[in-house]
Amino acid sequence: MSDKHLDALEAQSIDILREAYAEAEKPVMLYSIGKDSSVMLHLAIKAFYPAPLPFPLLHVDTGWKFREMIAFRDAIAAAHRLRMIVYSNADGVARGINPFTHGSSVHTAVMKTEALRQALALYRFDLAFGGARRDEEKSRAKERIFSFRNAEHRWDPKQQRPELWNLYNARKHRGESIRVFPLSNWTELDIWHYIGAERIPTVPLYFSAPRPVVERDGQLIVVDDERMPLRLHEAPQMKNVRFRTLGCYPLTGAVLSDAATLPDVIHEMRLARTSERGGRLIDSDAAASMERKKREGYF
Amino acid sequence: MNKRIDAVQGAAEAPEASAHGGGLLRFITCGSVDDGKSTLLGRLLYDASTLKEDQLAVLAADSSRIGTQGSRLDFALLVDGLAAEREQGITIDVAYRFFATKRRTFIAADTPGHEQYTRNMITGASTADAAVVLIDATKGMLKQTRRHSFLVSLVGIRNIVLAVNKMDLAGYSHELFRDIASQYAGFAAHLGFDSLAAIPLSALDGDNVHTRSASMRWYQGPTLLDWLETVPVHDERLRMLPLRFPVQWVNRPSPDFRGFAGTVASGCMRPGDRVRIQPSGAETFIKRIVRKGGDMPAAFAGDAVTVVLGDEVDVSRGDFLSALDAPATVADQFEARVVWMSDDPLYPSRPYWLKSGRRTVNARVTRIKHRIDINTMASVPATRLELNAVGLCNIGTDQPLSFDPYEENAATGCFILIDRLTNATVGAGMISFGLGRAQHVHPQRFTVDKAARAALNAQKPCLLWFTGLSGSGKSTIANLLEQRLHHEGYRTYLLDGDNLRGGLNRDLGFTEADRIENVRRVAEVGRMMVDAGLIVITTLISPFRADRDAARGRFSPGEFYEVYIDTPLEVCEARDPKGLYKKARAGQIRNFTGLDSPYVAPESPDIRVGMQDASVEDAVERLYAFVVGRQTASDNAAAK
């Protein structure tokens, strides 16, 4: 990957971050702790340098993230002196919503989508940055860089605003909001090349290590804590695994891998025969699943 | 990127690693409905081995469930990612897909063919370097082929490949291909393309997409992929142009640092270079080019940087830093080609937001010179632009704008128009040139101003804008209100719609365009009267919210009040004081508001007069109290 290609991607993302910030009243950056969020945060720090990051980060915590993710989040927030808002859907917590008893779609709807809508409404954020990329999934391939949401946080894919040149339209009425995707034109490979070139810290779960796993419904699930109820005949085994994408641990499949360094990971990705989100159980819930979740307010 | 390390060298043996010598190509697929655009792009992705096993498994399952190709893979399902698209087997919005070969990386935009979704096609075209125009060999050139080719040319794409698709259904006929290619070349001769190639192919079978077709040995030219890998990209061109740096954001973290963040639109700059700030015209020089990790010795078109200037000069978001010897045009009037993208037509003199560079201003189309007929390319007269129309227009803005002609510098010559009510992006524009006369009209500032005149009158001037159906009682109530105010010593004037049509607006009829102009004139006269220190009442039906809001936009906060005379249509028609409803029902009057022309009621008028008022006198008293209340309210309260 040439530096020129990464330079161009970086410049476009910085341009988007600045433009959105200049047009917003109260922006926030959605921070999911994953590799894309790490790159987006790195770009934002560059975009506003030497000023400190002029907006807070928001992490919607479902309560089921890997422990290493939470530790990484807190370390990054401290290192960069970031304003990190951690929000959980208190109602969902009180109802004991979890991926095991309620299934992935209820868990995601209540603890992610609904929680995000609550947080955006509570803090009255009118613009939210997200790290989604167009190469991830086919409904994301259709989304604008500046994506309008109505007062109910809904996306209407049939009525997207035309988006010409780099003239982004961020105008909206009170209560409506804009989601902005600075990484729209990055691919998974670009992300890893950039992480390597810029030495961006990432959660160690992306790299191979012996971890306790059980095989369930065709996926390798890492038993991250004692809350995971084991089925009959299920016994965690230590295997060398890593993750291509990170979410709630019960809903994110690991891959068998010995790739413990960045060059190993990139090499493995080039030869990979499955796509990045193949390990995300929430995507395969129903046909056009991502689009449906996005329409309801998911990132 | 300075200080980058080669952490990724370990992957060098992988196939794409040497890939990027040819740089990045952004291209679109376009053409008419069902010409096979999505199928072609899906085929390119499939042949480039971009797809992973799980994605292929989904494709196979989708193809047998909802595919349109029988037992074969339906490649269109790879790019038609929205539920509505897959249901209907059409493309609604542009999809961006990424793939790489040994020679280049590609961002492909698959654009919709339906005329209804032209706005999404032009969204994809505006950022593309090249275009693949598809034609179904069995159908030949269609209206949408022409429209898309014209739009592609308009946004400045200069390299075109004509993909004559579905050759398998046309018996691989060399003659048919030659006819279509020459017919298209004839049409495209006026579109200013630098290069035009024609390739016969079958997207479904992959003939001449990645691999040469065994069924068309008569074709010796490149495959589509060959063409895409070798078509020239002029990414150096912007660097050769004079410096344009639109300021995006002023970075002031502390009293010691004041930087101007932005992306270099064209040209280059180095510390020490003298620059002109536009539109103000002030001169200064580049002191530093700041980036995290160390200052840069130079910045070029496309670089996102932060600049520190040599002098303490006034620079804000939207201003340009430009080459001293070759600055941008500064004008508040210019000529531009406008592509209209809204169901609501464009009318001259209706106000819109205009965003260009990093600045958003108030703008209106002052004149539509002509519309371009996409079938014949002829210029035809037009009083408005309908959805998907392209017109040559004069545009005026409320403050001067810095720009270049689009043909010289696309980065600083484009703009969008935004609807002021819905905030939708409704128009796309490409500037031809500034209109000279704007540079010779300078507003004069006079010493006796609005505040001085108001003080002499001992009153706070304001305007009450009455709106409502014909026969709703606007004139009656306005007349009583003015009497009451006059009696109490206020200086007033009443601008009555019907009376003005006898004089100032004698040349206007009742078409939508004329009504808009009627409202504009009355609002402007009203504004002058408020400036003169008077309390003004206007009585016009003024049926469109957009125009009433535009009228409000001419006034300062606390000067304009919308009064909605909310009388139901049945009551107005029963009263019919001028016998107009009767005539309209008899077909003697056309475009009559409430009958065959719409009335868009105010959503939140400042005052509503209607059922809650026991009598006309009560309504007048309530309005009078409102005006008097404004007289004593503080400016702050009035502003809310």
**If you write DSSP's letter for every residue of A166-214 in order, what string do you get?**
T-------TT-EEEE-TTTT--HHHHHHHHHHHT----GGGS-EEEEEE
Q: A53 to chain B: nearest residue by CA?
A: B253
Residue A198 lies in a domain: no
* Contact status, residue B586 vs residue B528, Cβ threshold 8 Å: no
Residue A155 lies in a domain: yes
Does A5 reach chain B within 8 Å, measured CB to CB? Answer: yes
Based on the domain organization, do A161 and A267 belong to the same domain?
no
Q: Do B304 and A4 touch (CB under 8 A)?
A: no
Among candidates A12, A50, A163 on the partner chain, residue whose Cβ is nearest the Cβ of B257 = A50
- Band of residue A1 on the pLDDT scale cut at 50, 70, 90: very low
- In this model, does residue B21 exceed pLDDT 50? no
Contacts of B5 in chain A (CB under 8 A): 196-197, 199
Based on the domain organization, do A167 and A217 belong to the same domain?
no
Per-residue model confidence as pLDDT tens digits over B219-230: 999 999 999 999
pLDDT at A295: 78
Contacts of B355 in chain A (CB under 8 A): 167, 169
Which CATH number is A99's domain given? 3.40.50.620
Based on the domain organization, do A28 and A149 belong to the same domain?
yes
Residue A196 lies in a domain: no
Q: Do B83 and A292 touch (CB under 8 A)?
A: yes
Judged by DSSP in three states, B597 sits in: strand
CA–CA min distance A144, chain B (Å): 9
- In this model, does residue A43 exceed pLDDT 50? yes
Contacts of A164 in chain B (CB under 8 A): 122-123, 126-127, 414, 416, 425, 428
Mean pLDDT of chain B: 88
For chain A, the domain total comes to 2
Among candidates A137, A173, A196 on the partner chain, residue whose Cβ is nearest the Cβ of B423 = A173
CA–CA min distance B94, chain A (Å): 6
CATH class for the domain made up of B240-323? mainly beta
A233: left (phi over 0), alpha (psi -120 to 50) or beta: left
Judged by DSSP in three states, B489 sits in: coil
Which region among A188-192, B452-456, B519-523 has the lowest average model confidence (pLDDT)? B452-456
DSSP secondary structure letters along B360-415: EEEEEEEEEEEEE-TTT--EE--SSB-TT-EEEEEEEEEEEEEE--TTT-TTTSEE
CA–CA min distance A94, chain B (Å): 35
Task: Please report the number of interchain residue pairs, chain A to chain B, with beta-carbon separation below 8 angstroms.
Answer: 198
Contacts of A49 in chain B (CB under 8 A): 290-292, 306
Q: Do B253 and A50 touch (CB under 8 A)?
A: yes
CA–CA min distance A280, chain B (Å): 12
Highest mean pLDDT among A264-273, B68-77, B336-345: B336-345
Q: B9 to chain A: nearest residue by CA?
A: A263
Q: Do B1 and A272 touch (CB under 8 A)?
A: no
Q: What are the residue ranges spanned by the domains of chain B? A: 14-230, 240-323, 329-437, 450-639
pLDDT at A294: 76
Based on the domain organization, do A143 and A20 belong to the same domain?
yes
- Band of residue B177 on the pLDDT scale cut at 50, 70, 90: very high
Does A233 reach chain B within 8 Å, measured CB to CB? Answer: no
Q: Do A273 and B53 touch (CB under 8 A)?
A: yes
Burial class (CB in 10 A: 0-12, 13-18, 19+), A95: exposed
Among candidates A5, A164, A291 on the partner chain, residue whose Cβ is nearest the Cβ of B126 = A164
Contacts of B23 in chain A (CB under 8 A): 4-5
CA–CA min distance A18, chain B (Å): 7
Residue A197 lies in a domain: no
Which region among B120-124, B151-155, B163-167, B626-630 has the lowest average model confidence (pLDDT)? B626-630
Based on the domain organization, do A67 and A215 belong to the same domain?
no
Does A240 reach chain B within 8 Å, measured CB to CB? Answer: no
Q: Which of A198, A207, A191 is nearest to A243 (CA)?
A: A207
Scanning A246-265 for CB atoms below 8 A from B yields 261-264
Q: Catalytic residue at B542?
A: yes
CA–CA min distance B17, chain A (Å): 7
Report in angstroms the alpha-carbon separations of B324 from B168, B327, B404, B431. Answer: 59, 6, 15, 22
DSSP β-bridge partners for residue B95: B110
Residues in chain A: 299
Q: What is the mean pLDDT of residues B607-636?
A: 82
Based on the domain organization, do A86 and A224 belong to the same domain?
no
pLDDT at A290: 75
Among candidates B54, B83, B306 on the partner chain, residue whose Cβ is nearest the Cβ of A291 = B83
pLDDT at B441: 45
Residue A238 lies in a domain: yes
Choose between B69 and B213: higher pLDDT.
B213
Q: What is the mean pLDDT of residues A175-186?
A: 96
Among candidates B9, B291, B302 on the partner chain, residue whose Cβ is nearest the Cβ of A8 = B302
Q: What is the mean pLDDT of residues B398-409?
A: 93
Q: Do A21 and B249 touch (CB under 8 A)?
A: yes
Q: Do A291 and B126 touch (CB under 8 A)?
A: no
Which of B28, B93, B419, B430 is most worth mutating to test chain A (most A CB atoms within 10 A of its CB)? Answer: B93
| ipTM score for this prediction | 0.92
Residue A105 lies in a domain: yes
pLDDT at B635: 45
pLDDT at B59: 84
Based on the domain organization, do A12 and A42 belong to the same domain?
yes
* Contact status, residue A5 vs residue A190, Cβ threshold 8 Å: yes
Which of B6, B94, B96 is most worth mutating to test chain A (most A CB atoms within 10 A of its CB)? Answer: B96
Question: One fold for both B14-230 and B329-437?
Answer: no
Contacts of B94 in chain A (CB under 8 A): 142
Based on the domain organization, do A166 and A125 belong to the same domain?
yes
Q: Under 8 Å CB-to-CB from B390, ≥6 apart: which residues?
A: B150, B151, B154, B337, B338, B339, B340, B371, B372, B374
Which of A127, A137, A169 is most worth mutating to test chain B (most B CB atoms within 10 A of its CB)? Answer: A169
* Contact status, residue A25 vs residue A171, Cβ threshold 8 Å: no
What is the second-level CATH architecture of the domain B14-230? 3-Layer(aba) Sandwich (3.40)
Does A48 reach chain B within 8 Å, measured CB to CB? Answer: yes
- In this model, does residue B123 exceed pLDDT 80? yes
Between CA A265 and CA B585 the distance in angstroms is: 77
Question: Which secondary-structure segment (H or E) carries B90?
Answer: none
Which region among A109-118, B8-17, B256-265 has the lowest average model confidence (pLDDT)? B8-17
Q: Do A164 and B122 touch (CB under 8 A)?
A: yes
Based on the domain organization, do A8 and A82 belong to the same domain?
yes
DSSP β-bridge partners for residue B608: B564
Q: Do A167 and B418 touch (CB under 8 A)?
A: no
Q: A48 to chain B: nearest residue by CA?
A: B251
Does A162 reach chain B within 8 Å, measured CB to CB? Answer: yes
Residue A144 lies in a domain: yes
DSSP B15: G
Between CA A249 and CA A98 the distance in angstroms is: 11
Q: Do B24 and A187 touch (CB under 8 A)?
A: no
Antiparallel, parallel or unpaired: β A127-129 and A27-30:
parallel
Based on the domain organization, do A31 and A171 belong to the same domain?
yes
Q: B19 to chain A: nearest residue by CA?
A: A1
CA–CA min distance A289, chain B (Å): 9
Among candidates A3, A48, A274 on the partner chain, residue whose Cβ is nearest the Cβ of B4 = A3
Q: Which domain holds residue A215?
A: 203-284
Does A11 reach chain B within 8 Å, measured CB to CB? Answer: yes
Report in angstroms the alpha-carbon separations of B379 from A62, B393, B427. Answer: 60, 12, 19
Q: Which fold has domain B450-639?
A: Rossmann fold (3.40.50)
DSSP B92: -
Q: Under 8 Å CB-to-CB from B588, ≥6 apart: which residues?
A: none
Choose between B345 and B45: higher pLDDT.
B345
Q: Which fold has domain B329-437?
A: Elongation Factor Tu (Ef-tu); domain 3 (2.40.30)
Based on the domain organization, do A248 and A114 belong to the same domain?
no
Among candidates A6, A46, A172 on the partner chain, residue whose Cβ is nearest the Cβ of B423 = A172
The structure's pTM equals 0.78
- Band of residue B440 on the pLDDT scale cut at 50, 70, 90: very low
- Band of residue A2 on the pLDDT scale cut at 50, 70, 90: low
Which of B3, B4, B92 is most worth mutating to test chain A (most A CB atoms within 10 A of its CB)? Answer: B4
Q: Do A273 and B52 touch (CB under 8 A)?
A: yes
Based on the domain organization, do A112 and A28 belong to the same domain?
yes
Q: Active site residue: B126, B470, B475, B542, which one?
A: B542
- In this model, does residue B8 exceed pLDDT 60? no
The vertex-B51 CA angle with B45 and B53, nearest 5°, equals: 155
CA–CA min distance A52, chain B (Å): 7
